[in-house]
Amino acid sequence: MDFRCQCPISSALDIIGDKWTLLIIRDMLFSHKKTFKDFSTSKESIASNILSSRLKLLEEVGIIRKNKKEGNLKSNIYTLTESGLALLPVIAEITLWSDENVRNLNPNMVQEDYHHVRTNKQEFLAEVKGAYLRSIDFLSKPLREENTP
């Protein structure tokens, strides 16, 4: 992968800074989406060619892993790696920032109560991570272990 410069923020944005990447990771973490079809039904309506290229990039850089579901070799199952799970606090912070700073610009934003996230952030992050890991529990044992940090 080519990076624009040596700045850590710029380098991270080269990977996760497009319009779609964090939304794919959000859908994996909070909606437990795992298949191409799951992602293609997101309310943001990502085009299939863009979705395909983002999933490929995320796999290439080690943020997600692509596997076949046991007993169904036709469908790819995408799961977060430890590197992908490490983006959970970033997504939580962006959500809180957006709630505080963007809501007045977009009054149609989903109305959520983020008090628990603000006051018990570590507990919230642990809950989301645990729910995500339980959501991939249907995977074979070796695959679950690969996804357990």
96-110: average pLDDT: 94
Whole-number pLDDT of residue 139 = 72
Note whether 53 and 22 are within 8 A (CB).
no
pLDDT tens string 48-94: 999 999 999 999 999 999 998 777 778 899 999 999 999 999 999 99
Pairing assessment for the beta strands 64-69 and 72-80 based on DSSP bridges? antiparallel
pLDDT tens string 6-47: 999 999 999 999 999 999 999 999 999 999 999 999 999 999
Residues 124, 129, 133, 136: is their CA dihedral positive or negative? positive
pTM for the predicted model, two decimal places: 0.88
Q: Domain residue spans in the chain?
A: 8-147
Q: What is the CATH number of domain 8-147?
A: 1.10.10.10
Token couple for 82: 């430890």
pLDDT tens string 105-115: 998 999 888 99
